Structures are given as structure tokens and as C-alpha cells.
Structure 1
């Protein structure tokens, strides 16, 4: 079992072990676990004496952002960015939080970037109650995701400016990656906004009005990012359609060139093939000027076909 704890008395935080946190009676205690194995389950059940449904919620393998209020506290699940390797279909790692007056328990399966920010806030004394700690988690997660979403928007902007029929395949790969990332982030940001909104409206003396205002602000930022991700997804789809049209146009142009070349050489191939037969009876085959005449005829036919195409504006199609 990997984890740590902090006891906070009068704004002063001191790091403690998970074992010490079980019997700690400080004004505020934060216990954080990195992992959802049997040892974590046992501590939550035997030491923290949480009911089985909360133990299951805190250690579940598959989770989505949500908030559930109880008489004594609230269960909150948030999603944030992790520097560890994540699944392509699950770009954000989860943090599960159980908060009551004077105590917060958080559990992660992968280390979140926001966890370091929260721990530093606890050390600095700026997060010394459950409301402050949850607010710091929510704010840190949205602050960390904001530049990532902005970078996706910049990538789409660059693709729009670089639209070129000769770079179709390269741009399609870039647009597809940005679109997949936008869908993956948006999948969790919408329910996360709803969870934070619900948390801000929960009744309980462990969450102050100032904390509720900060949670609501984090929910607004999550909603804004979700809307921006939806716009990125739609723009990526439009760029993808444009690139498909450019590729079709490029293929049509190349097909036209091939068709024109075939039309030019088809009669020439017929004439040269006809006179290349090793049989008797070909007209003028024995004349000394026959070869020159055939060459001149081929040139005239080629020029005539090209002139016809030019007059029909085929080369501009």
C-alpha cells in the first residue's frame, strides 16, 4: 500500500504515515493512497471504517466523474491529467475523494499532476480544511488541462492555415490525432462539470460559501473547456472533409493527366504497332521516305490532339 497523510492543526501541516492517520484526531487530516489494491481496501474498511459501498466507489477499476452527497460528507470523483502512461481511450486519470468534516481521503490509480499542487498547498497552509482541499484539487485539474485544450485548438488552427492538396496525408494524421484527443478529454469534462456543480450545491457545514464559489468557478471552467473541445471536434471534422475533397481533386487531376497522355499516345501506338508487324503488304513499307512520313504523321496527330484539348480547356480542369 503506497500512500501518505497530513495532519493540520491551526494552519500548520505535518506529514504523517497512513498508519498514524488512522488514529489521528487533529483538526484536519488528509490521507492519500496511490493504488486501489487489497491493502488500500483493507485500510478503508478496517481503519477508516467506511461502509462497503464507499470502499467499492473509492477503489473501483472503471469510474466516471460524479458527486454523491451523504449525511456526513460527500463522495467526489474527478478526472485529471497524469504524466504516467494512460490508455488511448482513457486520457485522464481519476482521483476519488471522500470528504467529511475534518477528514479527507483520496485515492488514485495513477499519479495525477494535480496531486503535487494540492500537497504543496497543504504544506503552505492554504488548504487547511476539506472544502479548501477539494477546491484546490478541482482548480489544479482545470488549470492543468487548460493549456492542453488550448494546444489542441492551436493545432487545428495550424492545420487550417496549412491546407494543401500535396500535404493531405500528413495533415489528416495531425487532424485525426487532435480530434481523438478532443473526444477523449470531452468525454470526462462534461460529467466533471456536472459533478462540480452538484458539489457546490450540497448542504453541509464542512463546505464554506467561499469554497462553494471556488468549486462553481472550477465547474464553469470545465464547461468552457468542454465547449471548446466540442468546437475543436467539429472543426476537425470539417477539415477532414476538406482534406478528403482536396485528395479527390488531386486524384481527379492526376487521372486527367493520365487520360490525356493515353489519348495522345493511343493513335501513335496503333500506327507504330501496325507498321511494326513483320508481314508483307503494308502500304509504302518499301519506300525510302516511309519512316520519315510516319514520324511526321505521328507529330501532326499529337499536336492536333493536344490543340484540341487546349481549346476544350482540359488542362485547366
Structure 2
């Protein structure tokens, strides 16, 4: 049976080895018993029906409910006897959204029941749903847990790789491209790196802690996959730091190029001023409106003065070249 997402139940599955029931209804969820297999429900946190069910029938402590519904939160985990509360951050794959504007995935997981919450669509959760529908999905809580983390981390890796590629492109074109084109691009790359690291770094720490927690429903194979995912996340954090440092170095190189161009322009203007300063002094002296200016009555005076000024300019240029100023 299919349910409508408008009732707050986005996905609902009852999982047993070799079998899964696709898209349970609220009636199926309320009639579920632990001996019937692993129950997974994915709820819309903005839907009133889902919120009422979570409060009245969820069987969760007030603190756990509050954490699942909290608007702004960083990645964290809380292990208790009843289950594990985990809050992840994943890439925002919604059309028109910035990938680094990460979305939250809130989950309470125990050996027999999984509750996940969303406010925006999370592609990693949809991947799990599609794999279950196709008959290739997880059948235990541990498999579900590591599969979801793996898909979240995989998409983060794609974004980190894209940032690294764009930084490399900037480094390759930094000599030939216009400064005005590259500076906004570098600023955007640094902003994306900082935004990603803000959530991925605590997620790395959280995964590292979970690998050492005593969680009964995690098998040794699950723990191995969890450790690998934690190591990948740690590597992505390092890659982000490296990309940000490379972007900063590229920004400094651009600033150096700009400063060099300005210095070169000022140097050229200084040389031109040095050449024309004595010429301007002479022409200024000859242009004063007082008596006694030599050559006033000579028809050759202007030509003589012009030739003298040209020769003086040539001498100044030759002298500057000898001094290696030009």
C-alpha cells in the first residue's frame, strides 16, 4: 500500500532478511511489533501528523524528541540503552541550492526500530529507500546505519573533489587570466570550503567516537565499514583545509601580481617625470613674460631650443639606461 507524503510519513518499511515491505501506512506502523522485523520510518519534520505521532506513539524521551526536531544543530551523537541518536549533515542536492548549504539528517536508531526526520529532501535517504524497494537494501540496523553514512560521505566527497578541481583550474590560469575574474572566484571557493568544514569537521569527530562506542547491534563488519567512512571523512576535512590554503596562496599571488603591476606603472611614471622635469623647467623659464629672454629677436631661436630639448631628452634616456633604470 502507498501512503501520501502529505500525511507526514515519507517512507515506511518493515525489513527482514531477504524481504522488505514497501511503503507502509500509518496503520501498518502503529500495528508493528518488534518480533515482525526491523521497522524504518522516515518522517517529515514540518508535518503536524508526523509530529503528533512522534510525541504520542514514538516512545522517545523528551530530550530525544527535542533533538530530532531542533532547527539548527551541528553533527553529534548520543548513545543510550534505548538506542542511538545521531544528527548528520549532508550535501544539499535540491535544484538551485548551494551544495555547501548542508541539510540535516536526524535519526534515532535501535536494533528493531529506525526513525529518521527531514525538513528538506535528502538524497542519501532516498537512495536507501530505492535500494530497499529494489530488494538490495539493508536488512539490519547496523547495515542501514553504515549504508546511510556511506552515501552521505560519498556525496560530500564529490563536492570536496569539485572544489579541489576548481582550485587547480585557478592555479593553472592565474598567470594569464585577468585579476578581476579570478578574485571573486577565489573568494567563493574559500567561502565554500569554510562552510563545508564547519559541519564536516564535527562529523568526522562524531564518527570517530562512534567507532569506539559499545553498540550491540553493530557487527564487526559494520564497525569496519564505519571506521573506513570515518577515515574518508577525516581525509575530506584535510582536503578541504588544503584546498582553502591553496586558494589563499593563489589569492596572495594575485595580490602580488596586482602590486607588481602598480609598482611597474608608478616606476614608469616616475621615469617619464624625471625625463620631462628638466625639459619642463627650461621651457618654463623661457616662457616667462619678462624682458631679457635670449633669442627673442632671432628667427633661429625656436629651432635651436627645440633641438636642444630633444638632445637633452636623448641624453637623459641614455643616462637612465646606463644606470639600468630603463
Report the TM-score, using the length of structure 1 for normalisation. Answer: 0.90
Distance 2:109 2:55 in 1: 16
CA separation of 1:18 and 1:232: change in aligned 2, threshold 3 A? farther
Q: Which of residues 218, 231, 235 is equivalent to 2:229?
A: 218
1:248 to 230, 247, 259: 259
| Local SS of the residue matching 2:84 | strand
For the residues of structure 2 that align with 1:21 and 1:281, how far apart are their CA atoms? 113
**8 Å CA contact retained: 2:92, 2:98:** no
Deviations 1:201-230 (A, max 9, x none): 332332222222211111111011111111
Aligned to 1:79: 89
* Contact in 2 for aligned 1:75/1:99 (Cα 8 Å): yes
Q: Say which of 18, 23, 41 aligns to 1:15.
A: 23
Residue 293 of structure 1 and its aligned partner are, at CA, apart by: 1.7
Q: CA deviation at 1:37?
A: 5.7
Contact 2:142 2:219 survives alignment (8 Å): yes
2: distance between equivalents of 1:37 and 1:186? Answer: 31
How many residues end up aligned between the 2 structures?
314
Are the aligned partners of 1:165 and 1:243 in contact in 2 as well (CA < 8 Å)? Answer: no
Secondary structure in structure 2 of the residue aligned to 1:91: coil
Q: 1:232 maps to which residue?
A: 243
Unaligned runs of at least 5 residues, structure 1: none
Could you tell me how far 1:33 is from its partner in structure 2? 2.2
**Which shifted more, 221-230 or 13-22?**
13-22
Gaps of 5+ in 2: 1-6
- Render the CA deviation track for 1:77-131: whole Å, top value 9, x for unaligned: 111101236679x632110110012211111222222122121222233212221
- Which of 99, 102, 119 is the matching residue for 2:109? 99
Could you tell me which residue of structure 2 aligns to residue 117 of structure 1? 127
Q: CA deviation at 1:63?
A: 0.9
Corresponding residue of 1:149:
160
RMSD: 2.3
Given that residues 32 and 105 in structure 1 are in contact (C-alpha distance below 8 angstroms), is that contact kept between their aligned partners in structure 2? yes
Distance verdict in 2 for CA 1:274–1:28, change over 3 Å: same
Distance in 1 separating the partners of 2:50 and 2:127: 23
Match of 2:11 in 1: 4
Q: Which stretch of structure 1 is more off in the superposition, 12-21 or 105-114?
A: 12-21
